[in-house]
Amino acid sequence: MTQASIFLVEDEALIRMMLVEMVEELGHRVIAEAGSVDQARALAELEGYDLAILDINLQGINVQPVAEVVRGRGLPFFFLSGYGSAGLPDGFEKMPVLVKPCTPVALKHTIDAVLLNGEPEKTQDKPRGAA
């Protein structure tokens, strides 16, 4: 797969740094990062990116306004969550969710699948505490 420009939204700085490193090791480039809904919404409207990775819960606020901007621009994206599909924004229930913490393999699979056709399996890793 060719290099993609990625917009990454994650409120936990250490997790965001880890994800940036993983994305870059997979051969992609993170072109914008955000840790809050307000910052993410502004960047989602302005930046040129091929794919957005959106944490569902940003400092206690649902990422729905950001997801609406990305969807409105017709760009592919998927959600990232420590709780699986719990808390998915209204109207986004069928969107793919990658469960944190994720492996580089799961991240690669999700990025590749969403860029290719927008529909990977709904959840790539098991939620915390799952058997």
Give tens-digit pLDDT for 80-123.
Answer: 998 888 789 889 988 999 999 999 999 999 999 999 875 444 44
| DSSP-assigned letter for residue 84 | T
Provide the domain limits for residue 111. 5-117
Q: What is d(CA 98, CA 127) in angstroms, rounded to the nearest whole number?
A: 9
- Which H, E and C letters describe 29-46, residue by residue? EEEEEECCHHHHHHHHHH
Residue 18: inside a domain: yes
Residue 97: inside a domain: yes
Domain tally for the chain? Answer: 1
Residue 125: inside a domain: no
The pLDDT tens digits of the residues spanning 64-81 come to 999 999 999 999 999 999
Residue 123: inside a domain: no
Residue 87: inside a domain: yes
CATH of the domain at 76: 3.40.50.2300
pTM, to two decimals? 0.87
Residue 130: inside a domain: no
